[in-house]
Structure 1
Amino acid sequence: MLEFLRKYGLLGPAGRLLVALVALVVGIAAIVWIGNPHISEGQQTASPVWTNEELPEPETTVVPPPSGFPYMEFPPPMPPARNGLQEVPTRFGLSYSVPDSENWMATNDMVFGFTGPGRSPITFGAGSRFSRGYCSGDESAVTAYVGLTGRNGVSLDAAAREAVVGAEWVYSNSERKKPRMSISGPFESVVSGLPAIRYSAQLSEIPEDGPCTPREATYEIVATRGYANAEVAIFMLARNAEGESLLPTGIAEMIVGSLRKTGA
């Protein structure tokens, strides 16, 4: 699969970012693309910052949703932009919003993922990208991207931890050299009236893996209830933290804060 994506130019330099512009009809029952519920940040006391050596190993077991859990084959249609924002509804019964501007490619039918030697891919759907083509060395390079996936049979904290730990190898290079990483969290918050858990990863000394590799990046994860396709919806926002055409921190926080139940 990795070679197939390389062959068709879908392997980005910033940690094997595999962008596949495919319909969400791609039926991987184990991994779902989620939308975005409204998150109001009530950050409480966080655990100490983790370092690379302290990170838990991610789980690999895939659990299907409970019998009778709502299923959505296709995401709702993308609505017209309003008040300078584009809502992105997803198959998880959640939505998020990004600015309605030429710098954003907002979609709810894009699937992308990360993979590497000896690792199973992490796949996200309902993906949106910022500043595509900013780097002349790779026309598919972006400085920020947003997406969602889902898990079943785990707690919010376990799902969020597993997702944020993945940042280490997302930003490793093809020679398996790893970045320096610290993770802060958990931070408790609320999404459309229900609990949510957030973790933040700060990455530096990212090993070069192409002409557009950033040296620093941030990787935000929020886990909350899924309303369809998965019991736990996992929202991810990754962005370069140095270089050109950066997504401002305030805009990134606005996007994270836009998570909400679709229709709320």
Structure 2
Amino acid sequence: MASPATTSLPVPSQHLPSSTSAPGLPPGFPSMLFPPPEVEVAEGDPIPINTKFGVSYTVPGDWRNSSRGVTGWNTDFGSVVYGGVAMYDYDYCPEHRDGATKALTGMTGRNGVDIPTAAFEASRDAEIIFRSKPGDDVVIEYSEPVDFEIDGAPAVRYSAQISNMTQKFDCDPVEATFDVVATEGFSNATVAVFMVQTDRRVEGALSETEVEQIISTLRREQ
């Protein structure tokens, strides 16, 4: 798996290499040039992450708030980019110069597709993120879609279980999970796509319960 490269610089939305740029937004659809400012909270308090897509979520207080930054993977299979980022146990593996994390959240947007299609396509980005070469031994198992609602808006979730990953360093995981939720977007894209990527079988790994808790905080921004 290629380590995600993260920058905390505020990047204008039209400069992000994501699917929000084509096709265009419907006439009159709201948009913003920069992501919302980071929300300041007392140390240890849960951290709200507001995104430019009009959908928010919350992470525990020991996470790193990089909501105005972008993160992504660039491999031989393609590239994947998310904004609205938060990171758990950042820089735990010092051998990675770009700062490895045990869990990572982010959000991007899609236009020109419906919510089920966006969720399916985003979940299959696991093939880009976790494979190191064609025909490798990495095993990726996908769940069936799960339909639910977020503040009355339809949402679809896929989960991927990844195993037999190649280690570059001893601190690298051999297993991971990749959860994707697509729902209605209210700014910058008609569909908002949220992801949680977690390392497994590493000390202090995020639990399934903690992943579920983060996903349960998805909400429309007020």
Give the TM-score normalised by structure 2.
0.90
CA shift digits 1:51-76 (9 cap, x unpaired): xxxxxxxxxx9422222211111232
Quote the Cα distance in structure 2 between the aligned partners of 1:177 and 1:16.
17
Count of aligned pairs between the two proteins: 220
- For residues 141 and 87 of structure 1, do their structure 2 counterparts lie closer, same or farther at Cα, with a shift above 3 Å needed? same
Q: In structure 2, give the amino acid aligned to 1:230.
A: A
SS in 2 for 1:69: coil
Q: By how many angstroms is 1:133 displaced?
A: 1.9
CA shift digits 1:211-249 (9 cap, x unpaired): 443100000000000000000000000001111121122
Q: Which has the higher contact order (CA 8 A, sep 6+)?
A: 1
Contact 1:32–1:124 (CA under 8 A) maintained in structure 2: no
Q: By how many angstroms is 1:157 displaced?
A: 0.9
RMSD: 2.2
Match of 1:31 among 1, 5, 18: 18
Q: 2:154 maps to what in 1?
A: 195
Match of 1:126 among 71, 74, 84: 84
Query: Identity, % of aligned pairs?
Result: 31
Q: In structure 2, give the amino acid aligned to 1:196.
A: A
Q: By how many angstroms is 1:210 displaced?
A: 4.1
- For residues 153 and 179 of structure 1, do their structure 2 counterparts lie closer, same or farther at Cα, with a shift above 3 Å needed? same
CA shift digits 1:135-161 (9 cap, x unpaired): 232251110000001100101111011
Quote the Cα distance in structure 2 between the aligned partners of 1:181 and 1:100.
31
Match of 2:37 among 58, 70, 77: 77
- For residues 232 and 141 of structure 1, do their structure 2 counterparts lie closer, same or farther at Cα, with a shift above 3 Å needed? same
Q: 2:202 maps to what in 1?
A: 243
**Alignment pair present for 1:257 and 2:216:** yes
Q: 1:17 maps to what in 2?
A: 4
Aligned positions of 1:170-249 closer than 5 A: 170-173=129-132, 177=136, 179-249=138-208
Q: 2:106 maps to what in 1?
A: 147
SS in 2 for 1:233: strand
Quote the Cα distance in structure 2 between the aligned partners of 1:62 and 1:206.
33
Q: In structure 1, give the amino acid aligned to 2:65.
A: A
Q: 2:47 maps to what in 1?
A: 86
Contact 1:29–1:64 (CA under 8 A) maintained in structure 2: no
Structure 1 segments, 4+ long, off by >4 Å, are none
Unmatched 5+ stretches in structure 1: 1-13, 34-60
- For residues 156 and 81 of structure 1, do their structure 2 counterparts lie closer, same or farther at Cα, with a shift above 3 Å needed? same
Quote the Cα distance in structure 1 between the aligned partners of 2:19 and 2:66.
15
Quote the Cα distance in structure 2 between the aligned partners of 1:62 and 1:179.
32
Q: 1:51 maps to what in 2?
A: none
- Please say which of residues 251-260 and 24-33 is displaced more in the overlay: 24-33
Contact 1:146–1:237 (CA under 8 A) maintained in structure 2: yes
Quote the Cα distance in structure 2 between the aligned partners of 1:25 and 1:195.
28
SS in 2 for 1:84: strand
Q: By how many angstroms is 1:176 displaced?
A: 7.0
Q: In structure 1, give the amino acid aligned to 2:11.
A: L
Quote the Cα distance in structure 2 between the aligned partners of 1:176 and 1:110.
33
Q: By how many angstroms is 1:114 displaced?
A: 1.2
Q: 2:25 maps to what in 1?
A: 65
Contact 2:106–2:195 (CA under 8 A) maintained in structure 1: yes
Which structure has more strand as a fraction of its residues?
2
CA shift digits 1:33-61 (9 cap, x unpaired): 8xxxxxxxxxxxxxxxxxxxxxxxxxxx9
Quote the Cα distance in structure 2 between the aligned partners of 1:20 and 1:229.
20
SS in 2 for 1:108: strand
Q: By how many angstroms is 1:22 displaced?
A: 2.1
Quote the Cα distance in structure 1 between the aligned partners of 2:124 and 2:48.
28
Quote the Cα distance in structure 2 between the aligned partners of 1:226 and 1:65.
11
